[in-house]
Structure 1
Amino acid sequence: MQTLSVRLFHRNSLPTQTRYFCSSIISSFAAMNHQKHLAGPWYSVPELRLRDHHFTVPLDYSQSGSQSHNISVFAREAVAVGKENQDMPYLLYLQGGPGFESPRPTEGSGWLSKACEEHSVILMDQRGTGLSTPLTTSSMLQMKSAQELVDYLKYFRADNIVNDAEFVRKLLVPNAGPWKVLGQSFGGFCGVTYLSFAPEGLKEVYLTGGIPPIGDGCTAEAVYKACIGPIITQNEKYYKRYPQDIKIIRDVVSHLEQSEGGGVPLPSGGILTPRGLQLLGLTGLGSSTGFERLHYLFERVWDPVIVPGAKKQISYYFLNAFEKWLSFDTNPLYALMHESIYCQGAASQWAAHRIRTELEHKFDAVKAAKEGRPVFLTGEMVFPWMFDEIHALRPFKEAANLLAEKKDWPPLYNKTTLNKNTVPVAAAVYYEDMFVNINLAMETAAEIAGIRLWVTNEYMHSGLRDGSGHVLDHLMGLLNGKKPLF
């Protein structure tokens, strides 16, 4: 980046006309820079030095100049202590989601510590999350209609996340050179979009649990069909580890079904129903410590009966924990946009709901409880009834239905470009990944020329976070010669 040197004078020592001219130049310069990029000072957390960057980017990159509506994109730069003045290669981290902000470092640990040893790591909040013009349950209420909200949300997919990344790269990397990208889960989907449409901006790409299906139309239905088997397997493994929870969860389902209105009120104003309870499988079944967290949550599901004859009821502790577990109130973009990440020129039409309906004999919680069978929890799926039962999502029900019927989604991948790829790519494929099916991932990997794969059952979907830097180190080794080519 070029540095502007300005000699400062005390303004009162200059003639009035000169003072006005200089003030105008300085104000114009500040405004010009503020339009694009504002960098803050370095600050510290243990083992890391951090710096905040704010960028002003177009909402719609097809428009320019005065026609464009602008939004902000926030990125936090992280380096190891003592390296803030060194020239190191840049590594962009793309978070999973959609609709979740980048990690907030509290110390140098795990994969981030590993990455910061050799890179200046850019933790970018994807548009609509964190400090990047966040789309919250309150900010989205500013829209005058559901259609207006949909017309806004259509710019918040992987294609425009990549556009933002390119905007940031050209302002941040010296001489606008290429950088490395690490994509976790949905961030990996964005990485493949990046390879498809802007490979010139990439030096290397690392994908962790993030190889997307790239077929035409809407692949959501294929994803849910492929993931149903692993979801059932994870349920069976959970109950094998904690067989005592079979009866506990059955009793909870029966209690909810027999309650007035078919459920019990949640602290936020929503309602917990049997099918809503099954949503706990989203993170409870698919991450490395999910089984334990789920078990300990159900340990405190019932209030103690401290007065003889008192009515049995679900504890406030459990109801409150249930809502915090799902994060739909803080990150509503996930529920609204989840199925759209699979769409190219076709509508999702609530794919997960349709697939679940076909398998209702396995996922009918009330029937399972009555028949004495284990109640199966669901996985990474968003259903239309959530916009009735979850209080934070209720205002967006109409918009969610419009998004589910939207057909004119632009392409997210280019197979021709991927087939001719020359960017070094390494990917961790988790054999028992409940979120990104291994078979679909391998189909896509076959379309990306030169990709190096590490298929492992040592980790689950959260392997990057859980592996204390080992996953990233392994992938880097695949590309830097530390791991054998064959």
Structure 2
Amino acid sequence: MEAAPVPVAETKTRRPEPSFAVTGLLVTDSVMVVPLDYSGKLPGTISLFYRQVVHRNKHEEEDLPYLVYLQGGPGFESPRPLDSSGWLKQAAGYFRVILLDQRGTGLSTAVTPQNLPERGSPAQQAAYLSCFRADSIVEDCERLRAALVPSRVREGRWSVLGQSFGGFCCAAYLSRRPEGLAEALFTGGLPPLVSSPCAAPEVYRRLARRVLLQNRRYYERFPADVARAAAIVRHLADQPQGWVETPAGNRLTPRAFQSLGLSALGFSHGFERLHYLLEQAWDGSRLSLRFCKEFDSWASWDTNPLYALLHESIYCQGDEASLWAAQRALDAPELRREFDAVAAARENRQVNFTGEMVFPWMFEDFKALRPLAETAQILAEKRDWTPLYDAERLARNAVPAAAVAYFEDMFVDFDLSQGTAQAIKGLRLWVTNEYLHCGIREG
């Protein structure tokens, strides 16, 4: 599964920008130019933006080890350090921390709804986007490591810390380029079914049940919101067109309203955020401007479209297509009634919100995604995905590895995580119910 080496001439590092201080930290911004397509099928290069962060009292230590942090997603940039706190404070005292904007995000040749159509036809766009998955992110990391880490520091190897989707990238790293790693750390990100050509159907079947559990917990916490949510859905369904247009031009349909669960049900304080949103929903008999504006800002479809376009593909690594697995899961007879928002509202039942799921109708309801609908369909039907994981190599893994799995994680199935933990030789697993999926931001 190892990718063919890319000539050094194809990787270029630009002069770093001047360092700046953030409370307790020294930060240096840099850019590297790397190939778009490591297979060589598509020409061109992209830029990789990364920040080196180190404790201000450690920056002159030449032999300080390196740690690269891989953000959750897919399609989100690395966090911007505002102060010395949380996990970064701890890590920056022991490592030179590399905050990498994964390709297509942030300042790394970001994919946007505005620039993606410039790549050509929907088929050409889909081919371009196929270069933005975990396999390519691993190759980016290897070129970055080769340029940054001196051979005298742990023989040129570095540590990798992956949160959520970043953990999926860690598993791909162990599969494809383990020789570059001193250790691998996973937080809420052990990928499911690493031997499966497409884990998406099983992932979303299980996710639907966890989402229903979180809905039940939400309404037990805020029982008055049963009536509030139902009233909003009835109002939307009763509109002549079946939706209300938001200030951003999105269509607030009953199904789009349900998608608020993506950010509300699985994160700390998500229940509270959703409750406070619903209690301010009305301005007389109309939905309030405040509510509609907050709906627009609740998710990042307009600024981070890779999340929608590539989400199900993170589970694909072979000749099977995802084929809108989340939609198929909710269309199953045993779940269809549970997620029928309009029927629930008419019958005064609780309206169940959805979770971390991307649906084909999102490319109708969300304005920024509408021009990308055909591209999304091509990706959903794609059956020739590059392999991501090597189960045999993981079974004989020699890189020290450790992971935390969150018992009540709504985003990454706990039971499937256990299977992957057992599949990676030597991995040490910590299980906790103290935190939800975003535990790394709270610990």
Indicate the residue corresponding to 1:42 in structure 2.
19
| Bigger Rg, which one | 1
Indicate the residue corresponding to 1:200 in structure 2.
179
Count of equivalent residues? 427
Aligned partner of residue 259 in structure 2, secondary structure: helix
Which of the numbers 138, 146, 169 marks the counterpart of 1:190?
169
Which of the numbers 220, 223, 247 marks the counterpart of 1:267?
247
| Unpaired stretches in structure 2, ≥5 consecutive residues | 1-8
Could you tell me how far apart the structure 2 residues matched to 1:403 and 1:397 are?
10
Indicate the residue corresponding to 2:366 in structure 1.
390
Alignment deviations for residues 422-459 of structure 1 (CA, whole Å, 9 cap, x no partner): 11111000000000000111111111000000011011
Matched, 1:134 2:107: no
- Superposed displacement of residue 68, structure 1: 3.9
Which of the numbers 40, 48, 66 marks the counterpart of 1:90?
66
Could you tell me how far apart the structure 2 residues matched to 1:63 and 1:39 are?
28
Could you tell me how far apart the structure 2 residues matched to 1:141 and 1:148 are?
9
Which of the numbers 417, 437, 440 marks the counterpart of 2:413?
437
8 A Cα contact 2:11 2:34, kept in partner: no
Matched, 1:72 2:51: no
Which of the numbers 290, 296, 304 marks the counterpart of 1:323?
296
8 A Cα contact 1:37 1:171, kept in partner: no
Moved more, 425-434 or 134-143: 134-143
Alignment deviations for residues 207-261 of structure 1 (CA, whole Å, 9 cap, x no partner): 0000001132211111011112211111011111111111100000000000121
TM-score, normalisation: structure 1: 0.86
8 A Cα contact 2:395 2:425, kept in partner: yes
Distance 1:34 1:443, change over 3 A: closer
For 1:29-178, list aligned pairs within 5 A. 35-63=12-40, 68-87=43-62, 88-175=64-151, 177-178=156-157
- Superposed displacement of residue 33, structure 1: 11
Decide which structure has greater helix share.
Answer: 1
Could you tell me how far apart the structure 2 residues matched to 1:63 and 1:450 are?
35
- Superposed displacement of residue 330, structure 1: 0.7
8 A Cα contact 1:235 1:377, kept in partner: yes
Could you tell me how far apart the structure 2 residues matched to 1:242 and 1:262 are?
27
Matched, 1:215 2:195: yes
Aligned partner of residue 235 in structure 2, secondary structure: helix
Could you tell me how far apart the structure 1 residues matched to 2:212 and 2:86 are?
31
Q: Which runs of at least 4 in structure 1 moved beyond 2 Å after TM superposition?
A: 32-38
- Superposed displacement of residue 371, structure 1: 1.2
Query: CA RMSD for the aligned pairs?
Result: 1.4
Indicate the residue corresponding to 2:219 in structure 1.
239
Indicate the residue corresponding to 2:311 in structure 1.
338
Could you tell me how far apart the structure 2 residues matched to 1:217 and 1:450 are?
24
Could you tell me how far apart the structure 1 residues matched to 2:313 and 2:12 are?
30
Aligned partner of residue 123 in structure 1, secondary structure: strand
8 A Cα contact 1:38 1:55, kept in partner: no
Could you tell me how far apart the structure 1 residues matched to 2:49 and 2:325 are?
33
TM-score, normalisation: structure 2: 0.94
| Unpaired stretches in structure 1, ≥5 consecutive residues | 1-31, 306-311, 468-486
Alignment deviations for residues 137-181 of structure 1 (CA, whole Å, 9 cap, x no partner): 111121221011001000000000000000100001012711001
Could you tell me how far apart the structure 2 residues matched to 1:146 and 1:68 are?
18
8 A Cα contact 2:164 2:188, kept in partner: yes
2:268 is aligned with what amino acid? S
